[in-house]
Chain A
Amino acid sequence: MVDLYPSLAQCAIVATAFKVLLFPAYKSTDFEVHRNWLAVTHSLPVKEWYYEKTSEWTLDYPPFFAVFEWLLSQAAQYADPAMLIVKNLNYDSWHTIYFQRATVILSELVLLFALSRFVKSAPQSTKQLAHISSLSILLSPGLLIIDHIHFQYNGFMYGVLILSIVLARKQSTLLYSGITFAILLCMKHIHLYLSLAYFVYLLRTYCLDPKSVFRPRFGNIIKLGLGVIGVFAIAFGPFAYWNQLLQLKDRLFPFSRGLCHAYWAPNIWAIYSLADRVLISLGPRLGFSVNQEALTSVTRGLVGDTSFAVLPEVTKEHTFALTFLFQLLPLIKLWRSPGDWDAFVGAITLCGYASFLFGWHVHEKAVLLIIIPFSLIALRDRRYFSAFRPLAIAGHVSLFPLLFTAAEFPIKTVYTILWLVLFLFVFEQVAPVPDRPRIFPIVDRFSVLYLAVAIPLIVYCSLVHQLIFGLERYEFLPLMFMSSYSALGVVGSWVGFMVVYFTA
């Protein structure tokens, strides 16, 4: 008999109590972004949703998310009608805050439902492991920081993602998995990064015969095709009818932004930028030519075009090529193992990794795109777990710069440390021994060392740096340290997981 205590619902209740207490906490401009979308969807006809630009935070999510906002706005008028006026920029009355924060908590019920389905879908022997992974996702510090303090609706959308992953577990529900994922794409297009894994898996497992690639199952192809096209038709059809698709494209894919986001998401480009900075000081001695124009650029490393002083420029095409290449590798293996759900989740994770590490203008928030699918399989055995560990540390630490106010500092650090100590310890205890020996046992030593560096680094970045240099001088330094440190962890965990994935 397995003990599933504390249950998901119990954790959700206590976590909800904590989240309600965080109502008055810091909220980023994303709060205003979503308030504006409530106002836009409520007070304008659908035709004008993607043309409205009173606020600088124009609607840039796909139509289903806009519909979701419209649904919320139907309830919002009872909370405070003033928040639904497009001209009320930066409106944040107490009722608005209560309402919007409460919708985040309520919409997270989708995540709770998906996780409980995940636990149910797990075979009896791994039920407890599935339960522990679900708890780690439900209580994730990433979701707490991004959704409940910073303000977004990720918990809801990752709930839909997990639901579609769980539906892919059984042959009979594969069709619904595909449709659910299509719906998710029409809510937040960042999940396009994962779509190749879905495409390959559904094609190989659902549309073709598992035994032979050359025997297509036409019935399935038609069902899936109709389902997915139907979803997209419902989402984009009206806009196509009004000839607005180009406008939607401009809104959804704003390519005018720079390579790195303001805070330098911990990916390859953060390491690249760091190398560039180091070379600026070393360059003259080593005989490199330093691009003086890039050196004086004010926006270096901030929003806008990043230019590198020593290293070659990186273009969008480069990033796409690299992303595609590194997504392709796991997909080959996925193609060759039809019906292997673990390989599917692994491929989703690796697609997430590739797009996060090599993508153009990646947000640090996108790290959840890796962490959440990975959590579902992190407890498969100890090799998976040892690849997961540096990611769990780096991914969450890299979110810290999102919250920079003093009052939220104890919350983000203590909560993350609590989560890391609790779940890394529990994972360590319960992760089963793998069938085959590990290839690089040295990786474990590395990850212990990596963990040990985290605490002095956080202390330096949040306290010591200010004491030494004050608030103004070298303010980029802590951010750079944090993102390079986290980038190292994410890259390390990616390499580790690639090895595990291909040798599993």
Chain B
Amino acid sequence: MPLPPSSYRPRKKRKLSLSSSGSNNALIVDTGNDKHIPAFPLVSFLWAARAGVSQWLVLPLILMAVGLFRWAVSLWGYSGFQVPPMHGDFEAQRHWMEITIHLPMSKWYTYDLQYWGLDYPPLTAYHSWFLGKIGTLFDPSWFALDESRGLEDPRLKVFMRATVIVSEYLIYIPAVVNFLRRYTQMHGVPVWSASIALAAILLQPSTILIDHGHFQYNTVMLGLVVASLDAILAGRMLWACIFFVGALGFKQMALYYAPVMFVFLLGICVFPRRILIIRLLCISMVTIAAFTVLIAPLVVGAVSTDGRNDLFSVPLPPLLQALPIELDKNSILYAPLLQLAQVIHRVFPFARGLFEDKVANAWCAIHTFYKLHRFETTLLQRVSLGATLASILIPCCIIFRHPRASFLLPALSTVAWGFFLFSFQVHEKSVLLPLLPMTLLLAGDGGLSKETRAWVGWANMLGSWTMFPLLQRDGLRVPYFVMTFLWAYLLGLPPTSWEIYRSRPSSDDSNSPHEPHMFTKLLHSCFYLAMVAWHVLEAFVPPPLGKPDLWVVLNVLIGAGGFGLAYLWCLRKLLLQWWMIGSKVPTEQDPRKKNQ
């Protein structure tokens, strides 16, 4: 607290220290003649904080500013607005609140499945129940059973938008802030750079557009994943398990991360010199316990007489049909089994096709040139499984052999890209999953250097660009342009500035590893030009007759190519780090720093 100003003490002018650590060099450009300028606009905005302003001031300001942008995006349209009869994701979420607060648990996963039947794991259901209860306090008609379908009250919209932002500020934001604090300390990144990275990460356009524009609760799941990573950095492995089970229990999409988490936790039990059976046991017990707690309410709900009757009245889930043995229907365990089978059947729709709609992954791209309908679904499923496994094999092996926390982010992004590109039933929104760990790389050592910033920024631009057809349907064209341009502008990326690809002749050799490679410059430039050209085409040129989807297909093809590159870049980053151990140079002592 400042002293009472009655006594007019002159303020101390703090000497602005230009720290010589690697991460700051990338932020402050020395133009010679003793003049320092910020490297990109986001640095300018935090310029005054570089002398070490208290985090108690900087952090709330950043959180308020990014919150304002979130809320402003939420003023726009949402998925399925004025599109009867099914509407969209907004209606789905509202409908789940409606059914969870009015129906017994045994009916949650069976009630009128044709109209947005619940197909997310139990934690989403509990979350919906809780929000529904709160919403009923404001206005019960928002969630009246069956009566409220397709409701579009503006006040309901405000309530639903508020639930998204509150959930995010309770889960995702604290998780990211804590994670970054630990992660940057681990890498020796100055607090000022960490604040800049935080602002950049929280302004990631795709996450904001999908959650606050399109309408979903992805940040809850992503936040739990980040919390799990934070627990790993803190060495609290059991908490990491609990958070990760929470993430899986909220949205099955967290499975994209599961292989890395699994092999990492296995690795830390196996590879520190001797095998730690106790640790392994603890981890598995806690994981099982967390899952049990997660499904316990559903099981209890199924045991009651009403619950049994409810469950017996619906068709047998295919999972149980496939069982070769006849089950005893009178057993007390039969109803819970039925319930769980139904949940799994709803959550993992194996029966659907290889991909839905148009999504920028390998299958959709191949399908454009070589129709995949000709093969049987089971064959496609196997090929897809094989390709996914092949793509994630290397990162998983590295993590298993060297379970180091610093490997986690590149490994998670590589594996998530692998899943996005090759797995089954991918949505365009799933691109948020690989983008999250990749974007978190901005906070690492040299994360804001030109090279990392160029790649992470480019992947994010490409990610939101591939979602443009989706966002446009939701009436989110303007927020899309505003948020992506803002991100590009703040991080100094094309199309607002090509500075990032320009190397400064004056800089000495020590900077060169953080300058983008010639090849990178060329590739990125091509992609940016393609994106701009695509927008021009899409806006002004009608697609040729007979090929109404041509622009979308083009988007998918370019996107899939770019995501493949992003996969390779993350893999390369991981391999480089791994190779550093191999070459016996301790990662902490970067030779670059010794010079200075």
Interface string of A437-465 (1 = CB under 8 A from B): 11001001100000000000000000000
B5/A17 in contact, CB under 8 A: no
| Contacting residues, chain A, for B11 (C-beta < 8 A) | 429
Interface string of B64-92 (1 = CB under 8 A from A): 11011101110110000000000000000
Q: How far is the CA of A422 from the CA of B158 in the complex (A)?
A: 27
Q: How far is the CA of A7 from the CA of B37 in the complex (A)?
A: 11
Answer whether residue B348 sits at the interface, using C-beta atoms and an 8 A cutoff. no
A72 to chain B, nearest CB (A): 21
B61/A382 in contact, CB under 8 A: no
Answer whether residue B485 sits at the interface, using C-beta atoms and an 8 A cutoff. yes
B68/A14 in contact, CB under 8 A: no
A426/B41 in contact, CB under 8 A: no
B8/A418 in contact, CB under 8 A: no
The answer to whether A24 and B75 touch (CB under 8 A), given A418-B61, A433-B8, is yes
Q: How far is the CA of A23 from the CA of B45 in the complex (A)?
A: 24
Judged by DSSP, the binding face of B is: helix
Answer whether residue A425 sits at the interface, using C-beta atoms and an 8 A cutoff. yes
B72/A5 in contact, CB under 8 A: no
A444/B69 in contact, CB under 8 A: no
Closest to B62 in A: A418
A143 to chain B, nearest CB (A): 15
A372 to chain B, nearest CB (A): 22
Answer whether residue B57 sits at the interface, using C-beta atoms and an 8 A cutoff. yes
| Contacting residues, chain A, for B485 (C-beta < 8 A) | 17
Q: How far is the CA of A415 from the CA of B71 in the complex (A)?
A: 11
Which of B8, B60, B161, B490 is packed against the most chain A CB atoms within 10 Å? B8
Closest to B9 in A: A433
A470 to chain B, nearest CB (A): 13
| Contacting residues, chain B, for A438 (C-beta < 8 A) | 6, 8
A462 to chain B, nearest CB (A): 13
Number of interface residues of B (CB under 8 A): 43
Closest to A417 in B: B64
A6/B10 in contact, CB under 8 A: no
Closest to B490 in A: A14
The answer to whether A444 and B45 touch (CB under 8 A), given A14-B486, A421-B61, is no
Q: How far is the CA of A356 from the CA of B69 in the complex (A)?
A: 33
| Contacting residues, chain B, for A415 (C-beta < 8 A) | 68
A10 to chain B, nearest CB (A): 5
Q: How far is the CA of A386 from the CA of B4 in the complex (A)?
A: 12
B477 to chain A, nearest CB (A): 11
The answer to whether A407 and B8 touch (CB under 8 A), given A21-B75, A21-B479, is no
Answer whether residue A228 sits at the interface, using C-beta atoms and an 8 A cutoff. no
A382/B60 in contact, CB under 8 A: no
Closest to B76 in A: A24
Number of interface residues of A (CB under 8 A): 39
A1/B35 in contact, CB under 8 A: yes
| Contacting residues, chain A, for B489 (C-beta < 8 A) | 13-14, 17
B68/A411 in contact, CB under 8 A: yes
Answer whether residue A51 sits at the interface, using C-beta atoms and an 8 A cutoff. no
Q: How far is the CA of A386 from the CA of B61 in the complex (A)?
A: 22
Closest to A411 in B: B71
| Contacting residues, chain B, for A320 (C-beta < 8 A) | none
A418/B6 in contact, CB under 8 A: no
B36 to chain A, nearest CB (A): 8
Which residues in chain B, 12-36, are within 8 Å of chain A measured between CB atoms? 34-35
A97 to chain B, nearest CB (A): 11
| Contacting residues, chain A, for B483 (C-beta < 8 A) | 17
Closest to A382 in B: B5
Which residues in chain A, 335-391, are within 8 Å of chain B measured between CB atoms? 382, 386
Q: How far is the CA of A444 from the CA of B4 in the complex (A)?
A: 8
Task: Identify which of A17, A24, A426 contacts B48 (C-beta below 8 A).
Answer: A426
Closest to A445 in B: B4
The answer to whether A18 and B68 touch (CB under 8 A), given A382-B5, A407-B154, A441-B6, is yes
The answer to whether A22 and B44 touch (CB under 8 A), given A406-B155, A425-B57, A438-B6, is no
| Contacting residues, chain B, for A14 (C-beta < 8 A) | 41, 45, 486, 489-490
A461 to chain B, nearest CB (A): 18
| Contacting residues, chain A, for B76 (C-beta < 8 A) | 21, 24
Q: How far is the CA of A195 from the CA of B144 in the complex (A)?
A: 60
Q: How far is the CA of A425 from the CA of B11 in the complex (A)?
A: 13
Interface string of B442-481 (1 = CB under 8 A from A): 0000000000000000000000000000000000001100
Answer whether residue A3 sits at the interface, using C-beta atoms and an 8 A cutoff. yes
Q: How far is the CA of A445 from the CA of B73 in the complex (A)?
A: 40
B68/A7 in contact, CB under 8 A: no
Q: How far is the CA of A6 from the CA of B37 in the complex (A)?
A: 11
Answer whether residue A44 sits at the interface, using C-beta atoms and an 8 A cutoff. no
B2/A428 in contact, CB under 8 A: yes
Answer whether residue B38 sits at the interface, using C-beta atoms and an 8 A cutoff. yes
Answer whether residue B569 sits at the interface, using C-beta atoms and an 8 A cutoff. no
Which residues in chain A, 380-430, are within 8 Å of chain B measured between CB atoms? 382, 386, 406-407, 410-411, 414-415, 417-418, 421-422, 425-426, 428-429
- Ordered by A's residue number, 11 sampled pairs between the chains whose C-beta atoms are within 8 Å are A5-B47, A10-B45, A13-B41, A17-B69, A21-B479, A22-B75, A382-B8, A417-B64, A425-B57, A433-B8, A437-B8
- List residues of chain B with CB under 8 Å of any chain A CB: 2, 4-6, 8, 10-11, 34-35, 37-38, 41, 44-45, 47-48, 57, 60-61, 64-65, 67-69, 71-73, 75-76, 154-155, 157-158, 161-162, 478-479, 482-483, 485-486, 489-490
- Kindly list 18 other residue pairs between chains A and B, CB separation below 8 angstroms, not including A5-B37, A17-B486, A444-B5: A10-B44, A21-B73, A22-B72, A25-B75, A406-B158, A407-B158, A407-B161, A411-B72, A414-B64, A421-B57, A421-B60, A421-B64, A422-B61, A425-B57, A428-B2, A433-B8, A438-B6, A441-B6
- List residues of chain A with CB under 8 Å of any chain B CB: 1, 3, 5-7, 10, 13-14, 17-18, 20-25, 382, 386, 406-407, 410-411, 414-415, 417-418, 421-422, 425-426, 428-429, 433-434, 437-438, 441, 444-445
The 4 nearest A-B residue pairs measured at CB: A441-B6, A21-B72, A5-B47, A6-B44
